[in-house]
């Protein structure tokens, strides 16, 4: 599985952002399950937020409220996105 994400260090806090389909954020149980799994298996030890974009490219974030508020003010072009590949 391949996905886009970023690890960000800001104001003494290190966290990860993972891009997801908009539909994932519309089902709270799926979003919570993905967050928990990502924090356990992909980015252990750091908080994770999910990010989806609408048809106009406007991002919506889901996760820890302080990080969501911070990310809402960050231009997407400023995020150090990269591709991650999980082993099969």
The domain limits of the chain are 2-85
For position 65, what pLDDT does the model report? 96
Classify strands 13-19 and 48-53 as parallel, antiparallel or unpaired. Answer: parallel
Rounded to an integer, the average pLDDT of 55-80 is 95
Confidence (pLDDT) at 88: 62
In whole angstroms, give the CA distance from residue 31 to residue 50.
Answer: 8
pTM: 0.92
Domain over 2-85 is classified CATH 3.40.1350: yes
């Amino acid at each position: 599985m391949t996905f886009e994400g970023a690890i960000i260090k800001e104001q003494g806090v290190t966290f990860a952002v993972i891009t997801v389909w908009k539909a994932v954020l519309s089902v709270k149980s799926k979003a919570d399950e993905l967050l928990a799994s990502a924090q356990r298996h992909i980015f252990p030890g750091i908080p994770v937020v999910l990010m989806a974009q609408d048809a106009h490219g406007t991002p919506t974030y889901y996760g820890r409220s302080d990080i969501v508020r911070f990310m809402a003010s960050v231009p997407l072009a400023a995020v150090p996105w990269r591709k991650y590949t999980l082993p099969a």
